[in-house]
Amino acid sequence: MARAIWSGSISFGMVSIPVKLFGATESKDISFNLLHATCGTRLKQLRWCPTDEVEVPWSETVRGYEYAKDQYVTLTDEDFEKLPLPSRHTIELTAFVKESEIDPVYYERSYYLAPDERAEKPYALLLQAMEQKQLTALATITIRKKEQLCAIRPKSGAIALETLYYPDEVRQPDVDLDNTKVSERELGMAFTLIELLRKPFEPEEYHDHYREALAQLIDAKLEGREVVKAPPARETGVIDLADALRRSVEAAKKGGKARAAAKAPARRRTRTSRTRKVS
């Protein structure tokens, strides 16, 4: 089981629920090490002090906030521990909202909350109450030396915690479409294409094609095989939007028929016996 990265309690009115926090996701990216191109030796990253011209161990490092050019105020772990933040140990539920009211741009990272010893019943109470009301709780949590807004919601029989960005951390889009006109014909074809491609979200259908291709490339190099070249990129430029939409709709219709045919059960062919007439 994964190691808990935070422990504390959920404060739900007068109810206190001891919980532990675990990461809900993990990266499957293929990682690389930096090597010296001339000899293939793995490189080391050093914490180097240019003043003393020495390598600095972790035990001799401190965090510094640059308040002016080359001027710092330093903070120790003890300073962070002394911050008067109740959310360091308690997740206090302050409001309940509909999940659809939270714009996805605010979501940062996902975690699971698991009940601590003898906390299963209040944990189950909160979980079932949110499930039946179909609501998400808002709270704050201090994790990794930062107090973060978070959303707490039921997921797959457990309570999930999603850290959220604060409003001043979300950038506003810089897009101006006031002088862009879209015709009713183009909009109608776009609606048709959307309807042809609309389907329930089934995450198991999607794969990381980049990671798969990268793994194949590595295997090919290890086995001394020829590396398969990528297909040429599509040409880009000025396009006829209506014509592109029409061709997209036609392609989507053909693709839908092909998928339907692939999923349809095969029909059994029955042989008809013929009697031969003997003269």
Phi and psi torsions of 79, nearest 5°? -65, -40
Cβ within 8 Å of residue 15, ≥6 positions away: 122, 125, 126
Range list of H helices, 113-155: 120-133
Give the residue from 51, 48, 49, 77 showing the smallest Cα distance to 63.
77
Tell whether the model's pLDDT for residue 211 goes beyond 90: no
Please report the pLDDT score of residue 130 as a whole number: 96
Give the residue from 183, 191, 184 showing the smallest Cα distance to 252.
191
Please report the pLDDT score of residue 235 as a whole number: 59
Please report the pLDDT score of residue 194 as a whole number: 87
CA distance to 151, 179, 244, 248, 257, per residue, from 189 (Å): 38, 21, 10, 9, 19
Render the burial of 159-176: b for 16+ CB within 10 Å, e for the rest: bbbbbbeeeeeeeeeeee
Distance CA 256, CA 261 (A): 9
Give the residue from 2, 18, 6, 3 showing the smallest Cα distance to 145.
6
Residue-wise pLDDT for 51-109, tens only, equals 999 999 999 999 999 999 989 999 888 887 777 776 778 999 999 999 999 999 999 99
Residue-wise pLDDT for 217-260, tens only, equals 888 888 887 665 656 666 555 467 667 767 777 777 777 666 66
**Beta carbons of 99 and 136 less than 8 angstroms apart:** yes
The predicted model scores a pTM of 0.71
Residue-wise pLDDT for 111-155, tens only, equals 999 999 889 999 999 999 999 999 999 999 988 778 899 999 999
Distance CA 279, CA 277 (A): 6
Please report the pLDDT score of residue 247 as a whole number: 77
Residue-wise pLDDT for 140-196, tens only, equals 998 877 889 999 999 999 999 999 999 999 999 999 999 999 889 888 888 888 888
Write down the architecture of domain 6-26+87-169 according to CATH.
Beta Barrel (2.40)
